[in-house]
């Protein structure tokens, strides 16, 4: 029986056939990670940066986005505060 196993990295899985462990098949694509530094000074490495794309206007695409700044923005602008029920 064939199955998929998560290798622990987001988006990557390993396809394993029901054969001897030494014959496992790895269908993941390994891309080299690139190093980035955002304008606020965060340094990070990734092979798949977050990019906001706009249909039919590639010049308006964001380019790589710092995940730290992205999360900070969501926390600051979109996090809801718990209200106390009366």
Which pLDDT score, from 0 to 100, does residue 4 have?
55
Which pLDDT score, from 0 to 100, does residue 29 have?
58
**Tens of pLDDT along 36-65?**
999 999 999 999 999 988 888 888 889 999
**pLDDT score of 1 more than 50:** no
Q: What is the DSSP string of 47-84?
A: SS-B----TT-GGG----B-HHHHHHHHHHHHPPPPPP
pTM of the model: 0.53
- Structure-block tokens of residue 63: 């380019």
Q: Which H or E run contains 3?
A: strand 3-6
């Amino acid at each position: 029986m064939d199955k998929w196993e998560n290798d622990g990295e987001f988006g990557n899985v390993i396809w394993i056939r029901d054969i001897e462990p030494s014959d496992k098949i790895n269908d993941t694509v390994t891309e080299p990670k690139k190093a980035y530094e955002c304008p606020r000074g965060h340094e990070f490495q990734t092979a798949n940066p977050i990019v906001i794309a706009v249909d039919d206007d590639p010049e308006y695409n964001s380019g790589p986005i710092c995940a730290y700044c992205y999360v900070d923005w969501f926390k600051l602008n979109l996090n809801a505060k718990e209200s106390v029920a009366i």
